[in-house]
């Protein structure tokens, strides 16, 4: 589902409206991510995985609609492909560029035509090299007893062919076969499971639109817990090697339902039909807001139970998952909100108000620090997950709150994920909404906090630079929030 068809149609290769689909969807930071010429509606994935050998066999059926006359179109994918069919007829395919699978159907597709692409593949994903442009992070991690697929902005290339950009969300059903005694966790609701012979096969359904990078697969000999919260299924999964982190991890992750309920109080009803969380030692740091089923590194819980990271990843279910970016440059709409949710949690726990935490972080980086050179409203591809995207993005929200007052602020924060639910968004739309609700002209606030390099002269609360940090001291939550963010972005 492409929320902004205009963006797809305006990409150069699609401009002819007849011929091959563009090899990129038109993202300003990642021009070759996603593709043009069609709109993916549903992915039906049938996977078989052999742990140890790291052998993944798959058949992906993708239901899509052509948005132009198409002689040829691309999917993004890195694994070895055996065959491709379009509407049941064998199609020819070729590899081009870094991660393009170029498909030529036997017959050209007409604009508006629904079509079914079927891709059969088998490979050892951990052996597939990571292209340089990804910064070296390996999104497919094979373990002794399973595997984990997790990455942002790219991960699908290692496990299913897709139109790999958040702009083209789709629904999913994912069927996974693993050896008996091994568990597979993916997004949404498990609707079926059966063991026959040496294999256990489960089918999961994600019935709400999902961006490709939010799909995850977690396979291993896991401890899986199931429950319910307000009628919604809850699934939590733990690898069995969490060791010293096990108790604190469980104590934290098992609070997901209460945290989601608390978040819904500010952000409006939870957008999905299930929730949960997975913890695995396979990760080199990181947590990710994979839809309904965030994944966490156990080291978030090294100093004992920590709910800040659980708040962060679940806030993303509204900001990032339900409301996804139209273009990666709008990433602060995800990270700024998820970070602000931590500051709200600090206030709720009595560990410092959001205003105090905002002032603290404003004071933390001196004016000459490189932190202030990155503009959260346009951080650049290399700095997508820079501290500024998170902390200065959250400061922008605090500055907005001070400018419009609490009543208008909470109205904005609840209305945004409600009007944009299951869609895509960009910063200008958020500013327009904030202006409409508050009745104020807000260009100056957003220019200062999102789009201007350099440290603003006063803190998000309007406090003078020299006194901002000293005035409040260090809120009790700060050490925990810092620890979360160091591991989240895997930086010091």
- Using CB positions, name the residue nearest to ligand TRP: 286
Which residues are CB-contacts of 405 (< 8 A; sequence separation ≥ 6)? 438
**Taking Cα atoms as reference points, which of 121, 136, 490 lies closest to residue 286?**
490
> Which span sits near Zn ion by CB under 5 A: 159-167, 235-243, 302-310, 328-336?
328-336
Q: Which is nearer to ligand TRP, 150 or 185 (CB)?
A: 150
Which pair of tokens denotes residue 203? 């089918």
Which residues are CB-contacts of 264 (< 8 A; sequence separation ≥ 6)? 270
CB of 425 to ligand TRP, least distance (A): 16
The secondary structure of the chain in percent helix, strand, coil, rounded to multiples of 5, reads 35, 30, 35
Q: Which is nearer to Zn ion, 70 or 149 (CB)?
A: 149
425 binds, options ligand TRP, Zn ion, none, Cβ within 5 to 8 A by partner type? none
101 binds, options Zn ion, ligand TRP, none, Cβ within 5 to 8 A by partner type? none
Q: Which is nearer to Zn ion, 20 or 320 (CB)?
A: 320
Contact flag: residue 343 with ligand TRP (CB under 6 A): no
Which runs of E-coded beta strand occur in 259-364? Answer: 275-279, 287-288, 295-296, 323-325
CA distance 304 to 488: 17
287 binds, options ligand TRP, Zn ion, none, Cβ within 5 to 8 A by partner type? ligand TRP
Q: Which is nearer to ligand TRP, 26 or 153 (CB)?
A: 153
480 binds, options Zn ion, ligand TRP, none, Cβ within 5 to 8 A by partner type? none
Instruction: Looking at residues 149 to 178 of the shown chain, list those that interact with ligand TRP (rule: CB under 6 A).
Output: 150-152
Contact flag: residue 278 with ligand TRP (CB under 6 A): no
Alpha-carbon torsion angle 90, 94, 100, 106, nearest 10: -30
By residue count, the chain amounts to 492
User: C-alpha distances in angstroms, 260 versus 270, 322, 423?
Assistant: 7, 14, 20
CA distance 456 to 453: 9
Contact flag: residue 249 with Zn ion (CB under 5 A): no
**Taking Cα atoms as reference points, which of 227, 470, 476 lies closest to residue 343?**
476
Phi-psi region of 145 (alpha: psi -120 to 50; beta: other; left: phi over 0): alpha
Instruction: Looking at residues 354 to 393 of the shown chain, list those that interact with ligand TRP (rule: CB under 6 A).
Output: 385
Contact flag: residue 270 with ligand TRP (CB under 6 A): no
CB of 338 to Zn ion, least distance (A): 4
**Taking Cα atoms as reference points, which of 174, 217, 222, 182 lies closest to residue 198?**
182
10 Å CB burial of residue 135 (0-12, 13-18, 19+) is exposed
CB of 187 to ligand TRP, least distance (A): 15
Q: Which is nearer to ligand TRP, 22 or 237 (CB)?
A: 237
Cβ-contact 171, 64 below 8 angstroms: no
> Which span sits near Zn ion by CB under 5 A: 104-112, 224-232, 338-346, 460-468?
338-346
Contact flag: residue 333 with ligand TRP (CB under 6 A): no
> Which span sits near ligand TRP by CB under 6 A: 118-126, 285-293, 402-410, 413-421?
285-293
> Which span sits near ligand TRP by CB under 6 A: 78-86, 148-156, 175-183, 342-350?
148-156
> Which span sits near ligand TRP by CB under 6 A: 185-193, 255-263, 283-291, 370-378?
283-291
**Taking Cα atoms as reference points, which of 290, 143, 275 lies closest to residue 213?**
290
Contact flag: residue 345 with ligand TRP (CB under 6 A): no
CB of 46 to ligand TRP, least distance (A): 25
Alpha-carbon torsion angle 158, 162, 168, 172, nearest 10: -90
Which pair of tokens denotes residue 354? 């959001």
Binding mask 115-134 for Zn ion (x = CB under 5 A): --------------------
- Give the one residue of 145, 289, 321, 359 binding ligand TRP; rule: CB under 6 A: 289
Q: Which is nearer to ligand TRP, 31 or 285 (CB)?
A: 285
- Give the one residue of 178, 311, 338, 478 binding Zn ion; rule: CB under 5 A: 338
Cβ-contact 362, 469 below 8 angstroms: yes
**Contact set with ligand TRP (CB under 6 A):** 137, 150-152, 286-289, 312-313, 335, 385, 488
**Contact set with Zn ion (CB under 5 A):** 335, 338
């Amino acid at each position: 589902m492409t929320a902004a068809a205009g963006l797809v149609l305006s990409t150069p290769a699609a401009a002819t409206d007849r011929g091959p689909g563009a090899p990129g969807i038109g993202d300003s930071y990642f021009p070759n991510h996603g593709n043009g010429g069609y709109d993916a509606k549903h992915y039906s994935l049938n996977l078989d995985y052999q742990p140890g050998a790291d052998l993944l066999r798959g058949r992906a059926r993708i239901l899509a609609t052509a948005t132009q006359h198409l002689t040829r179109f691309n999917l993004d994918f890195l694994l070895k492909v055996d065959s491709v069919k379009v509407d049941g007829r064998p199609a020819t395919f070729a590899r081009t560029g870094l991660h393009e699978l170029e498909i030529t159907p036997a017959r050209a597709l007409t604009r508006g035509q629904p079509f079914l692409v079927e891709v059969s593949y088998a490979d050892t994903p951990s052996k597939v090299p990571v292209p340089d442009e990804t910064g070296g992070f390996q999104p497919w991690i094979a373990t002794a007893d399973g595997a984990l697929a997790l990455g942002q902005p790219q991960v699908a290339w290692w496990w299913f062919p897709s139109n790999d950009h958040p702009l083209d969300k789709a629904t999913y059903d994912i069927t996974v076969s693993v050896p008996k005694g091994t568990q597979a966790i993916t997004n949404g609701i498990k609707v079926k499971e059966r063991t026959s012979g040496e294999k256990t096969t489960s089918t999961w359904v994600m019935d709400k639109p999902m961006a490709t990078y939010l799909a995850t697969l977690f396979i291993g000999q896991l401890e899986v817990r199931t429950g319910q919260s307000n009628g919604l299924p809850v699934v939590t999964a733990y690898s069995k090697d969490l060791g010293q982190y096990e108790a604190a991890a469980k104590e934290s992750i098992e609070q997901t339902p209460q945290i989601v309920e608390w978040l819904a109080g500010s952000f409006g009803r939870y957008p999905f039909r299930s929730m949960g969380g997975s913890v695995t030692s396979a990760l080199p740091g990181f947590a990710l807001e994979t839809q309904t089923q965030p994944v966490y590194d156990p080291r978030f819980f090294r100093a004992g139970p920590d709910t800040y990271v659980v708040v962060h990843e679940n806030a993303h279910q509204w900001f990032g998952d339900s409301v996804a970016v139209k273009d990666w440059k709008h990433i602060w709409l995800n990270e700024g909100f998820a970070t602000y949710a931590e500051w709200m949690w600090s206030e709720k726990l009595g560990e410092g108000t959001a205003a105090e935490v905002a002032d603290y972080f404003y004071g933390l980086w001196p004016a000459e620090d490189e932190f202030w050179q990155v503009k959260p409203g346009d951080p650049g591809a290399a700095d997508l997950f820079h501290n500024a995207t998170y902390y200065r993005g959250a400061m922008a929200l605090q500055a907005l709150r001070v400018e419009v007052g609490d009543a208008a602020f909470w109205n904005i924060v609840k209305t945004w994920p409600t009007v944009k639910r299951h869609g895509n968004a960009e910063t200008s739309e958020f500013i327009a909404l904030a202006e409409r609700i508050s009745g104020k002209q807000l260009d100056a606030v957003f220019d200062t906090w999102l789009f201007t390099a350099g440290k603003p002269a006063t803190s998000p609360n309007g406090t003078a630079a020299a006194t901002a940090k000293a005035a409040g001291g260090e809120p009790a939550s700060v050490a925990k929030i810092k620890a979360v963010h160091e591991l989240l972005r895997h930086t010091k």
